[in-house]
Amino acid sequence: MGRITTRDNVGIHYKDWGSGRPVVFIHGWPLNADAWEDQMKWVADNGFRGIAHDRRGHGRSDQPWDGYDFDTFADDLDELMTQLDLQDATLVAHSMGGGELARYIGRHGTRRVRQAVLLSAVPPIMIKSDTNPEGVPEDVLTGIKNGILTERSQFWKDTAEGFFGANRPGNKVTQGNKDAFWFMAMHQAVQAGITCVDAFGYTDFTQDLRSFDIPTLVVHGDDDQVVPIDATGRKSAKIIADATLKVYEDGSHGIALVPGDKEKFNRDLLEFLKS
């Protein structure tokens, strides 16, 4: 495990496993790099170098009071890529991490990037509006913030149900999935949790997606209860010039962690890495 220090003196924790062409994993909210351990081992076992960092305010990284916006997240990622001198990398991003990936390419280009993977990701924009009627209503975002402020431990336990689709008949979600979600969420700073809701809810990544000039795999479940596929994944796949969309039937928001979908995603990821 390693650590870099950013331009504003924030310590960013990261894991670095294996050797070969780099695969950089960018976690969702309110998680951290631990969410990617199955995929990191999978790519490392198959001849790649898996790297995953804790976003500022999450996990083992520092918890500054501000800086929870996508320009800052993208610049943090750029510093990680630069300080580790990563070249020809594949960026794999989940949920809110998809915004970080998109803004990174929008601000820093693809000089270091070979491919991108957007998994259950928030771009192009989450919030419901006249131009995005499939999006998430504002009162849902307000409810999330209120839940964190009222009793965040119970809020995370409740949120895990829909995150993984544990509230659907015949699901394969384990208690371990839900416990791991709660544990990672409780290591997110409250200030980061609240301000990130506004960041991922209202930021428009459309122009960033138009900057993609690399092959991109978009993976999304059609039963995602957190980031609706019709507002995000399907639209991103249309905006990005060289995108392939894979829809997981009955897939939840937590595809990379739930038994069954996890193994399917790992196979799809490896196939894409080798393409």
Q: Which residues pair with 22 in a beta bridge?
A: 49
3-state SS, one letter per residue, for the chain = CEEEECCCCCEEEEEEEECCEEEEEECCCCCCHHHHHHHHHHHHHCCEEEEEECCCCCCCCCCCCCCCCHHHHHHHHHHHHHHCCCCCEEEEEECHHHHHHHHHHHHHCCCCEEEEEEECCCCCCCECCCCCCCCECHHHHHHHHHHHHHHHHHHHHHHHHHHHCCCCCCCCCCHHHHHHHHHHHCCCCHHHHHHHHHHHHHCCCHHHHHCCCCCEEEEEECCCCCCCCCCCHHHHHHHCCCEEEEEECCCCCCCCCCCCHHHHHHHHHHHHHCC
Active site residues: 95, 224, 253
